[in-house]
Amino acid sequence: MYRTLEECILDLEKNGHLVRITEEVDPYLEMAAIHLKMYEVGGPALLFENVKGSKFRAVSNLFGTIERSKFIFRSTWAAAENVIALRNDPMKALKHPFKNMESGFAALKALPIKKSTGTPVTYQEISISDLPLIQSWPMDGGAFVTLPQVYSEDPEKPGIMNSNLGMYRVQLTGNEYEINKEIGLHYQIHRGIGVHQDKANKLGTPLKVSCFVGGPPAHTLSAVMPLPEGMSEITFAGLLSGRRFHYSYDEDGNCISNDADFVITGEIHAGETKPEGPFGDHLGYYSLTHPFPVMRVKKVYAKENAIWPFTVVGRPPQEDTSFGQLIHELTGDAIKQEIPGVKEVHAVDAAGVHPLLFAIGSERYTPYQQVKQPTEILTIANRILGTGQLSLAKYLFITAEENRPITTHDEVDFMTYILERIDLHRDIHFYTNTTIDTLDYSGTGLNSGSKVVFAAYGEQKRELCKEVPDALKELREFGNAQMIMPGVVAIQGASFTDYASAQKEMQCLSDAIKDRGSIASCPMIIVCDDSSFLSATLSNFLWATFTRSNPSHDIYGVNSYYENKHWACDNVLIDARVKPHQAPPLIPDPTVEKNMERLFVKGASLGGIL
């Protein structure tokens, strides 16, 4: 167990999981480019010892592989798993009290402990401009904190046990922020800090906020954990680090993590926003500039020899993919306890997590009926789309096992199972004018868009094509038809101009396919800008299709019609072309890519790793 971030770094280095970069590196794009290259090859964590413009060191790629992450938490992993399991299923503790006594002791050790009042003597006061001001992508609005632990307390019930710790984007420089006095705080819907700010606004008081950076790696992971009801992130941080969370309050009343390498304190005042962004985000595009809360900076603290941890997000997979894998393994069957009837829910990382969910439920409503069709899984679908961050999903494919086992983590087999069984005249259900992920620009506005559920259950209805059907070859104005997977074909169209034109184009496509005869073996057709790219890898298909389409606006159908307000069709057409209102994709700076090659030549810090 590690008391500090540096202890973790030294342990990783000793065991061959970290390398030091001694050459001077530029926090503007270069550090991020090095990180991305190292993550791509499954390389070690990186300690940047000479950051241009800052006296502080920086570390990245700590969680770059699931093996390294488990190595970091090897001494506390089992205890954390057991405690979460007991919170999900308290009957386990009653049935096996002696077996679970150890978990109880581990949970008690996790309670936070308040140290002496005031700022710890180990801290020095610095300014925002002293930090490693890392910018990851060329169009980013400035430097960001990419592994923050943003802390706030319930204004109605203050205290650390009524706190929220979340990983919300923090912009340090750029735009209209007054350097060293203001920073931007970007948080999306369904985040705990939003509840705290709402309460503070109603009370007419500013919300005190602290941003912790660094400290034991368990604290970083805790900020992104979806924990069982009643378990706080602070308690989990102590549990996973094997050491109680040490804290105090400074003279302004802001909470200080005595374990963090850096602490930024301040306040958010009602109605105060400034433009935040752009920022290259985990969907693989820039999130654009929007008004978000501005935090008035009170103090910035740093430990002696503090180390600044950071990551880089972009088109999946990236380091945050490992976070997702860790979370899935730790939380285990939590979703089964929260949503009765659910067996699996998988947020598909390749599609940017929130745009695409796969789920397996149960069908127990009508076991006496001979004809099997979706019933209980429709109820479960509504529950999924009304639960926490799962509610941000845009596409939900759900089924129940029948005749053979399936898993949501085998994407091709799972989608094949759905497409073999779905009744396209009955089993597609839309939710229009609703909320979606803040970072998803496929919709009609910030947080605004639509959802669709593909629910399939019962006997197999069709054999899926494994070659492009003749009806999809040599279509007028659409060409280069390519197989993606069984039952799914990509075809290439002209660039998208506007929705009025798109509707006419999709109608012409539908008519052309209809005139060539039925193609029941191909239930899903993707219209795109580049069908060779879309079909080249499964990852390309999942990413481009589900990040670039808004179900209510971009799903069409061959022989589509409405019956009692329910939409139906013979074949689903998804328009996954890039739309003018969507955010631009992330493209590295070629000059920076060329310059960083000096670090990989023989004799340099990273020479010989690639």
Domains of the chain: residue spans and CATH? 5-72+110-310 (2.30.110.10), 319-456 (3.40.1670.10), 470-575 (3.40.1670)
List, in sequence order, every beta strand (DSSP E) within 401-520.
428-435, 448-456, 479-485, 488-492
Residue 86 pLDDT: 60
Residue 319 has pLDDT above 70, yes or no: yes
262: which DSSP letter? E
Give the pLDDT of residue 608: 66
How far apart, in Å, are the Cα atoms of 392 and each of 263, 555, 566? 30, 19, 23
> pLDDT-based confidence at 187, cuts 50/70/90?
confident
Is the pLDDT assigned to residue 108 strictly greater than 70?
A: no
Instruction: Say what the pLDDT of residue 89 is.
Output: 53
pLDDT of residue 105: 46
Per DSSP bridges, beta strands 290-303 and 123-126 are antiparallel
pLDDT above 50 for 609: yes
Q: 306-325 burial string, b = 16+ CB within 10 Å, else e? A: bbbbbbbbbbbbbbbbbbbb
For residue 106, pLDDT over 80 is answered with no
Question: Which pLDDT score is estimated for 93?
Answer: 38
Percent above pLDDT 90 for the chain? 74
Least reliable range by pLDDT among 75-89, 151-165, 290-304, 315-329: 75-89
Q: What is the pLDDT of residues 534-567, one digit of tens each?
A: 999 999 999 999 999 999 999 999 999 999 999 9
pLDDT at 11 over 80: yes
How buried is residue 153: exposed, middle or buried, by Cβ count under 10 Å (0-12/13-18/19+)? buried
Query: For all residues of the chain together, what is the average pLDDT?
Result: 91
- At 401 the pLDDT is 86
The confidence score (pLDDT) of residue 151 equals: 96
45 Cβ contact list (under 8 Å, min separation 6): 9, 12, 17, 18, 19, 59, 60, 61, 62, 64, 68
pLDDT at 404 > cutoff 90: no
Reported as a single tens digit per residue, the pLDDT across 133-142 is 999 999 999 9
User: Does residue 375 have a pLDDT over 70?
Assistant: yes
360 pLDDT tier (thresholds 50, 70, 90): very high
Alpha-carbon distance of 184 to 176, in angstroms, equals: 10
391 vs 365, higher pLDDT = 391
> Lowest mean pLDDT: which of 82-91, 333-342, 413-422, 515-524?
82-91
Please say if the pLDDT value at position 477 is more than 90: no
Q: Which helix (H) or strand (E) holds 543?
A: helix 538-547
* Cβ pair 419, 464 in contact under 8 A: yes
Q: Is the pLDDT of residue 130 over 70?
A: yes
Give the pLDDT confidence score for residue 156 in this predicted structure.
94
What is the reported pLDDT for 283?
93
Q: For residue 76, what are its two tokens? A: 């506390």
The whole-number average pLDDT for the span 175-201 is: 90
Label residue 511 by pLDDT band (50, 70, 90): very high
Query: What are the tens digits of pLDDT across the range 250-260?
Result: 999 999 999 99
98 pLDDT above the threshold of 80: no
Residue 263: beta bridge partners? 212, 301
What pLDDT is recorded for position 170?
A: 97
Paired tokens of 567: 């939409």
Mean pLDDT confidence for 498-526: 94
Q: Is the pLDDT of residue 305 over 60?
A: yes
- pTM equals 0.91
Length of the chain: 610
Of the candidates 241, 217, 238, 211, the residue with the CA atom closest to the CA atom of residue 9: 217
Please give the pLDDT value at position 78: 84
Is the model's pLDDT at 104 over the cut of 60? no
Q: What is the pLDDT of residue 146?
A: 97
Structure tokens at 60: 């990245």
